Structure 1
């Protein structure tokens, strides 16, 4: 038995009492008994206590984790939510965490593989929790004891867990080299040069991915046996024919959970949407044909429609600060890649679901213009209603610019437009695209709606300083870029996401006894007052969307830039359940422009403050400042976003080629 006590006010986090249980659960032979954790958890009005197990998803509203110094830290069980409907979306309500009392809250233990969770997802009905428990146990049964982290690591994780896979002793020296020493391009070259076998590479990434999962809850499915079998076939082919199967020979690639992979299941982030898949999505088929090994699927948000990857599998944690979000909706991918449990993954998004997570976790991510890459098979059954109004985009998430280019080159070389007429036939030149003049770069300090938080402003200043250096004056013409209508775009896009009033997904979630998660509830606040759109309604909102696109294109042309560089989010990675404002990414989904996220050397510092002359641009802007002042984001990574015009994806990569040396990109 492990019991932890957290006290309020100045005395909180100062008492920790441990008692070891001798009771053997006996579920897996000599398996270590799962601990329970009694926690005092804060909400708006009180402090509750609950008994939780260290498992992929804790029941209850909130959880607490121990840092490496054995101090206990709180995670608020209710987010500071902006109040109001879509007509009052910028008004906000803040809550104080003080003068609270304590009361007990009874909860149950959840079976499954022990996984760090600093803030739990809500508890559903007993019937739902029973089904969910069976799902978690089935996952756990696939994980051998030798790949499980010691229980004390799960109970007492450091704030930054990113180095644990290297130091935990589970990986061999060769496996550490394989998973850390290359980007995707370098790894396929090493396999082709016979420096590593496909089996060795597959085993290394399978092992590292399950270690990463225990620390961040990034996976939904893990199929090591199948991956090794794929690798054996690739090695046999190489031995027999003397050459690789294709340009991705032996490269492990992770896949977001909702994308179909034959022999696995897929979902839209809620339990009742789980379905078995008997065929691959087109992009998965292409990757396999070129030699890729599919070995895991990754976590995503409930309903796919927000920037916190919390589902029936649990909440994904940021590897560099587990008290912060890994982003969404492709947050499982971003956490896994940041933990080096994947070298290349496939993300999707209609509001920032590739760029947001990539920025939160400091990796590279690219959202294409819609229909540049094939997306058939991305959703089994009926797609989310949002895609009626905002087209789905997809793209790579990885370690370098050339990895993004590799994925694009390999997929488009297969001419997917010949069998899918929805794919636009654009020949890929990528990083080989050249400008025969200076690159015109517009830089965004703010979007006129929300002023970025302090570390993002420092990142903008860092980029501006490098881009304006006289030694690059023959390469770059730097301009200030004024964003047209960011507040209007944010209002529009939130309404466009819900042509059905949100009823389809909401009813699907609650029908199974699954609880709505905080950010899922928040996104429905705008949806439900709108109700089901008629054909006339859709025609009107499409005209409004297209009118905005025309105005934005004119503004871009008037400012005469090739690409723009600006924030990827209002701040660095945010605290859990507070990713309310996607304005810096969703705008470019509304206008359907391609965008890439690039890391910077900037990290958030504890205690950073806003400028003394700060004046909020809006109520939302004021709320973003409040969220900053209430949290501790020390060590959080900061990334920026580079955007080009619609269907100028090649030109975007040509610009990245120029920016690579200026901004020291990998």
Structure 2
């Protein structure tokens, strides 16, 4: 039996589906040496918080623990370039830690350490012979979400019937490989790639800080692996919160770029109907702000717009972006969106951040940001995701007898029929009118950036990631956003206070539902991230603002 922690069973499909699913899992575990198995007793009775297990389990050497725990991507690249570590040692360390993380969280769908080690040795030989690195990511291991093609490895579009071996790297992977990156794993994503929980036929991703909670989705495998320090830098996609949600759930950084700022060619072979009105975005997930900046810098330096005419050729200045020196940075705070009041730990994190900035009045002008349009945005975007009424989803499921997972049913329930050309046009018109009104609202608020929740609470319990308000709104208007960690952690049920007096009024039926989930759940140990957003195409200004906010908000 595979050494894998499981806290909630996956839905069962037809016998044919179950046989196919098991064959894929058997193939995965056939490549994992038993010497890297965790003890059966630990698998059967794991701690709630598993983040310390890789360090304490005895499977990693002191050097491997040092490599995986004490460096971000920038520092790791420097350590390899100066020969403090070989690329081979780094690849070995992260490969081992990744398979340990998988046993505790189900974060992987592929693990290929031999290929990673061979590539790392080539890089070491190049450095030894030439005295130069091949690029700024020389030897840096990067984890990759399942649907992104890597030559020779399996890609899938969220259903078993779409699994196939990629014949070539996708555009982004080819750029990162040329810059010296080492690929060693592919990470788990949900059915349909459209949940804020990563539960797929190949496993349910668990939150390392509390395995009874979700790691988020759809890039949940990446988030869990990063939180376990089994990765130093990962890649996500985001059409409704799929970078920002899991990053927030797991207490790491995640950056959703303005659409078509970063290369996505061949990410989804054949495309998805949702992009007829809601464009997906991509971006990095990692441990530090400077790693986010490095990732984008490498991609932009390759001038990907010369190969992909869909891309907007905006030069990257990132954290080096100069903001107006003559005035303070105007930072808006939105504590709720008018539809759902965030659960108490999120309010505490917002209050903490606001107080930190108010203590630096010479640098920041802190302003209240009035909520606007959330209900309309969420209603419209849910329908826009499935303009075919969910027909494609049902066809993929029927092809193998795959069961429809509960959160797949939740996300398609508002899409009742194929809307046709007239319906698509109506969606487009409503979207554009909303964007025009929203930008007028933003202008009236007079802020440079906005800090707001990333989710309605901390990481949610499994199968309860229902309410995407705080991420999907920004996809609807196509504003860039970064989620960043705060020092706030969720206490146990006895420690956590309830909703304060000023937030007692229930704003909607969804708000009432979120309050019920809080009352019933136990979110102990869940980290709290916040989200910072700004205008479309102002990604450089967003990073410039984050650099200015870095000291006050204790950003890594």
- Asked whether 1:134 is paired with 2:44, we answer no
Q: 1:224 aligns with which of 113, 127, 130?
A: 113
Q: Which residue of 1 aligns with 2:474?
A: 588
Q: 2:351 aligns with which of 446, 449, 461?
A: 461
- Asked whether 1:450 is paired with 2:343, we answer no
Deviation string 1:560-599 (CA, Å, 9 cap, x unpaired) is 1110001000000000000000100000000000000010
Q: Which residue of 1 aligns with 2:514?
A: 624
Q: Which residue of 1 aligns with 2:404?
A: 516
- Asked whether 1:295 is paired with 2:184, we answer yes
In 1, the alpha carbon distance for the partners of 2:467 and 2:394 equals 21
Given that 1:202 and 1:227 are in contact with CA atoms closer than 8 Å, whether structure 2 keeps it comes out as yes
The structure 1 segments of at least 4 consecutive aligned residues displaced by more than 4 Å after TM superposition are none
- Asked whether 1:427 is paired with 2:315, we answer yes
1:18-417 correspondence runs (5 A): 34=1, 113-380=2-269, 382-417=270-305
- Out of 236-245 and 607-616, give the one that drifted further: 607-616
Cα drift, residue 536 of structure 1: 1.4
- Asked whether 1:643 is paired with 2:533, we answer yes
Deviation string 1:376-431 (CA, Å, 9 cap, x unpaired) is 01012x22211111001000000000000000000000000001001100100000
In 2, the alpha carbon distance for the partners of 1:159 and 1:434 equals 44
Structure 2 segments unaligned to the other structure (5+ residues):
none
In 2, the alpha carbon distance for the partners of 1:423 and 1:183 equals 28
In 2, the alpha carbon distance for the partners of 1:383 and 1:115 equals 33
- TM-score, length-normalised on structure 2? 0.98
Q: Which residue of 1 aligns with 2:455?
A: 569
In 1, the alpha carbon distance for the partners of 2:26 and 2:272 equals 29
In 2, the alpha carbon distance for the partners of 1:303 and 1:341 equals 25
In 2, the alpha carbon distance for the partners of 1:252 and 1:510 equals 37
User: CA RMSD for the aligned pairs?
Assistant: 0.8
In 2, the alpha carbon distance for the partners of 1:237 and 1:353 equals 37
Cα drift, residue 606 of structure 1: 2.0
Structure 1 segments unaligned to the other structure (5+ residues):
1-33, 35-112
Deviation string 1:422-450 (CA, Å, 9 cap, x unpaired) is 11001000000121231110001111010
Larger Rg over CA atoms:
1
- Asked whether 1:546 is paired with 2:432, we answer yes
In 2, the alpha carbon distance for the partners of 1:513 and 1:487 equals 35
Aligned length: 550
Cα drift, residue 263 of structure 1: 0.4
Secondary structure of the structure 2 residue equivalent to 1:526 = coil
Q: Which residue of 2 aligns with 1:98?
A: none
Q: Which residue of 1 aligns with 2:362?
A: 474
- TM-score, length-normalised on structure 1? 0.82
Secondary structure of the structure 1 residue equivalent to 2:119 = helix
In 2, the alpha carbon distance for the partners of 1:313 and 1:131 equals 11
Given that 1:282 and 1:375 are in contact with CA atoms closer than 8 Å, whether structure 2 keeps it comes out as yes
Secondary structure of the structure 2 residue equivalent to 1:187 = helix
Given that 1:120 and 1:314 are in contact with CA atoms closer than 8 Å, whether structure 2 keeps it comes out as no
- Asked whether 1:597 is paired with 2:483, we answer yes
In 1, the alpha carbon distance for the partners of 2:411 and 2:219 equals 17
Q: 2:395 aligns with which of 487, 494, 507?
A: 507
In 1, the alpha carbon distance for the partners of 2:518 and 2:373 equals 24
Q: Which residue of 2 aligns with 1:533?
A: 419
Secondary structure of the structure 2 residue equivalent to 1:263 = coil
| Structure with greater helix share of residues | 2
Bigger relative CO (Cα 8 Å, ≥ 6 apart)? 2
Cα drift, residue 604 of structure 1: 1.1
